[in-house]
Amino acid sequence: MYSSPCLEIKSEEFIGAPALEFYFKGKLSLDMSRQATAAWSQFIEENATTSYLFIWDCMEMTGFEMAARREWLSALTKTIGHIKKVIIISDNMLIRGSARLMLKLLNVQVEIYKSNQELMISPFGRYLA
């Protein structure tokens, strides 16, 4: 669906539910955030009757520009009705905390894992094995 050096987004099924999987790499800049949010926002508009599980794999993310975070929050606000839940995977406390705060502001259900292994042993994980 979308691919760049810093972020790849895939539309997949996750435990039988529509999902958008985000794979972050390196530092998320404002330009990359604008391009990515435009791509997934358009995808959601084109599939307006569907709600999605968002999976943010931030294991290779090193950080983000604050302006990129604001851009992301703006796009989430516009598409909030199509987001069932967000799963965050990150071993970085700053990234986990920032994502949690952003989603709390929007009243989005969130689950946070420190690793892919932790996700695999979670209630979700037993469906993935």
Domain limits, the chain = 2-123
Mean pLDDT confidence for 41-60: 96
pLDDT digits (tens, 9 = 90+) for 53-110: 999 999 999 999 999 999 999 999 999 999 999 999 999 999 999 999 999 999 999 9
Task: Give the integer Cα–Cα distance in Å for 1 and 3.
Answer: 7
Confidence bin at 129 (pLDDT 50/70/90): very low
% of the chain exceeding 90 in pLDDT: 85
CA–CA dist 68, 73 (Å, integer): 9
Class of domain 2-123: alpha beta
- What is the pTM (predicted TM-score) of this model? 0.91
Q: Give the amino acid at 69.
A: R
